[in-house]
């Protein structure tokens, strides 16, 4: 199954980005990401055997207990690649938790499943972003847009992507709440531990 870890967007942020997508919708060469699929990828895993699921779910919960909730910001747009002919138009994201989550997932997957499990992600540096549209044919760049969007990131997810003729279908397999120190204290508290029967 094709898997990735991601953060999905609240409705008010998504609504603004969908409005921004109107800048490229007039050009046939750009294909916008459907509103319900707008997300920020933390780690792309590609095709993984089903027996990896248990480890990947456990890793997500463990990391969620280490990283506290944080505020994300969207300031503007950019292109991949930045020079020459762009393939992707995206919104740049910032937030102090993105780096620890992406790095923690990468290290955790390497430890649990080996270096080969990171082949799909490659050695690209992590740049938090939300893909707004992909370029499928010749089409112009649109001028940069400026956002002033913020939202609290309190959960991330493990997602299954099924490639279909009309586009990928995403299914959230598990959600991982961010709890940071609060979650760790709960775990360490004797009163919070389940009793043996």
| Residues assigned a catalytic role | 39, 129
- How far, in Å, CA of 157 to CA of 176, rounded? 6
User: Pick from 86, 90, 77: which is nearest to 138 by CA?
Assistant: 86
State the Cα–Cα distance between residues 152 and 154, nearest whole angstrom: 6
Q: What is d(CA 125, CA 9) in angstroms, rounded to the nearest whole number?
A: 22
Class of residue 56 by CB neighbours under 10 A (exposed 0-12, middle 13-18, buried 19+): buried
Beta-bridged to residue 93, according to DSSP, are: 74
Residue from 11, 25, 115, 133 nearest 79 by CA: 133
How far is the CA of 158 from the CAs of 33, 75, 98, 128, 161, in angstroms? 19, 26, 15, 17, 10
């Amino acid at each position: 199954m094709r898997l990735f870890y991601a953060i999905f967007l609240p409705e008010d942020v998504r609504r603004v980005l969908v409005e921004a997508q109107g800048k490229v919708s007039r050009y046939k060469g750009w294909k916008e990401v459907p509103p319900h699929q707008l997300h920020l990828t933390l780690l792309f895993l590609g095709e993984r055997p089903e027996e990896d699921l248990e480890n990947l779910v456990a890793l997500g919960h463990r990391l969620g207990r280490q990283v506290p909730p944080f505020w994300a910001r969207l300031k503007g747009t950019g292109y991949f690649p930045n020079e020459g002919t762009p393939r992707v138009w995206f919104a740049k994201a910032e937030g102090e938790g993105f780096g620890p989550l992406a790095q923690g997932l990468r290290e955790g997957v390497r430890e649990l499943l080996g270096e080969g499990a990171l082949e799909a992600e490659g050695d690209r540096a992590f740049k938090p972003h939300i893909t707004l549209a992909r370029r499928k044919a010749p089409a112009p760049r649109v001028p940069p847009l400026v956002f002033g969007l913020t939202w609290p990131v309190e959960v991330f997810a493990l997602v299954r992507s099924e490639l279909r003729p009309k586009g990928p279908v995403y299914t959230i397999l598990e959600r991982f709440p961010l709890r940071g120190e609060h979650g760790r204290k709960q775990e360490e508290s004797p009163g919070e531990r389940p009793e043996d029967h």
